[in-house]
Amino acid sequence: MPLFPIHRIRALLLLAAAAAACLYAGKEFRKMNAPDTILPGQGVSRIRALKDYFPNLEGTRSDSAVYFLESGRPGPTVLVLGGTHPNEPAGFLAAVALVESLRVKAGRLIVVPQACQSGFTCTDPLEGYPQSYSLRSRSRLRTFRFGSRAANPVEDWPDPIIYRHFPSGQQLSGNETRNLNRAYPGKSDGTTTEKTAFAIMKLIRDEKVNLAFDLHEAAPEIPIINAIVTHEKGRELAAGALLGLELENLPYALELSPPNFHGLSHREWGDGTPAIPFLLETTNPVQGRLRGRTGASLAVDGQDRQYRLAQESGRMRITYDAGGEPLARRVGRHLRAIQAVLETYNELHPEGRVELEGIPSYEEIIRNGVGSLLQ
């Protein structure tokens, strides 16, 4: 019998092929842990991290960069959070656009583009989400990770069957344990997500934030879309912003935060800090149940045949434009809505204004694409 009969060679080759496949898959999987590249623009005066507000986060997957854009002139402090849900790219990219392109002329902005940093290190199982998507920026091809709705499950494995919100005791399904927007005000000795929420609450208090935005997206069939959700405190500012946005042909709905639904930014930031919170929603077909093929192009172009058919049939109440819902539209809406709230604030507080520069108009963003907002 020869030393290497044909079946042994075949087996070795198969083993080698399997090892190569594992190695490749493993490498791809580990790429999810590599940090996204954000290129601070000239408006950024310093960069801190969530760990500076809560040292417990140091060295964890949940620590995240905090960008300061300070004018040096008096005015309110505005916080913008992107990436609370890392599968909602418009919120994340709108925040990145501010870091890379905005200049603040009065007051200051604090931007956390990846509030749930841990959620950027995985995708949701069984969703077929792309691992990343690419855009041509002003100077190069930029690739960003597409994450999961909630924090990485390895953080506090396994999820409990029931998530009990601290401190209200409100009960939600177990996977909401990792949902940053159910975790506020957070807990210093709680789960990873509760610690992240705790750090963000501390940031809001320590930096004396006046106005705080949490940028989101939702599936086209969700009723609260193209909406501003706010705390009682923000009612007037949101109403003024909505009228301004409507004049620019960007209709929005106004929703008030229910006081008995706990853990959400628009409730707990408002109750637990002096800040006035606003949660902004755009429509995102990638998150929808009706969507067809889910690839990077759906995340960027927002064109889905199933949603188009549903829209044309007129039988479903969905927020979907026949031409698709590209990222440019969704990021453009977020940026306009933030500015509209700030413009209303300026009208009501002429003594302490916030002035921004460097954000193109909505029409320009639509014309030139999201990439034009990035370095």
Q: Which residues bind another protein (CB under 8 A)?
A: 223-224, 229, 232, 235-236, 238-240, 242-243, 246-247, 251, 253-261, 317
Shortest Å distance, C-beta 75 to Zn ion: 29
Q: How many residues make contact with Zn ion (CB under 5 A)?
A: 3
b (16+ CB within 10 A) / e for 292-330:
eebebebbbbbbbeebbebbeeeeeebbbeeeebbbbbb
Residue 336 touching Zn ion (CB under 5 A): no
Of all helices (H) and strands (E), which one includes residue 164? Answer: strand 162-164
DSSP β-bridge partners for residue 218 = 283
Measured CA to CA, the distance from residue 140 to residue 52 in angstroms comes to 32
Whole-number CA gyration radius for the chain: 22
Residue 328 and residue 370 in contact, taking contact as beta carbons nearer than 8 Å: yes
Nearer to another protein, 236 or 301 (CB): 236
CB nearer Zn ion, residue 88 or residue 100: 88
Instruction: Write the interaction track for Zn ion spanning residues 200-219; mark x where CB under 5 A is met and - where it is not.
Output: ----------------x---
Q: Which does 250 bind (CB under 5 to 8 A by kind): another protein, Zn ion, none?
A: none
Indicate which of Zn ion, another protein, none lies near residue 216 (CB less than 5 to 8 Å, by partner kind): Zn ion
CB of 208 to Zn ion, least distance (A): 26
From 4-12, 58-66, 79-87, 160-168, give the range in contact with Zn ion by CB under 5 A.
79-87
Cis peptide before 158 (omega within 30 of 0): yes
Minimum CB distance to another protein smaller for 100 or for 325: 325
Q: Scanning the structure block, which residue is given the tokens 């749930």?
A: 116
* CA atoms lying within 13 Å on the CB side of residue 150: 20
Beta-bridge mates of residue 142: 135
Q: 285 and 319 in contact (C-beta within 8 Å)? A: no
Nearer to Zn ion, 87 or 375 (CB): 87
- Residue 254 binding: pick among another protein, Zn ion, none (C-beta 5-8 Å cut-off by kind): another protein
CB neighbours of residue 151 within 10 Å: 28
Question: If contact means CB under 5 to 8 A according to the sort of partner, which of another protein, Zn ion, none does residue 258 touch?
Answer: another protein
**Residue 261 binds which entry of another protein, Zn ion, none, with Cβ cut-offs from 5 to 8 Å by kind?**
another protein
Selection from 112, 40, 48, 62 nearest residue 82 by Cα: 112
| Residue 260 contact among another protein, Zn ion, none, beta carbon within 5 to 8 Å by kind | another protein
Output the smallest distance, CB 82 to Zn ion, in A: 11
Of 95, 88, 94, residue with least CA distance to 65: 95
Q: In terms of CB distance, is 149 or 262 closer to another protein?
A: 262
Nearer to another protein, 232 or 363 (CB): 232
Q: Give the one entry of Zn ion, another protein, none that residue 85 binds, where binding means its C-beta sits below a cut-off of 5 to 8 angstroms depending on kind.
A: Zn ion
The tokens describing 23, both together, are 């190695």
CA distances from 204 to 53, 67, 79 (A): 10, 13, 8
**Is the alpha carbon torsion for 323, 328, 329, 331 positive or negative?**
positive
Using the rule CB under 5 A, which residue among 85, 178, 266, 329 binds Zn ion?
85
Query: Would you say 32 or 254 has its CB closer to another protein?
Result: 254
Q: Which is nearer to another protein, 59 or 249 (CB)?
A: 249
Q: Select from 31-39, 80-88, 133-141, 220-228 the region that touches Zn ion (CB under 5 A).
A: 80-88
- Where do we find the tokens 């209200």? 168
Minimum gap (Å) between residue 19 Cβ and Zn ion: 39
- List interacting residues with Zn ion (CB under 5 A): 85, 88, 216
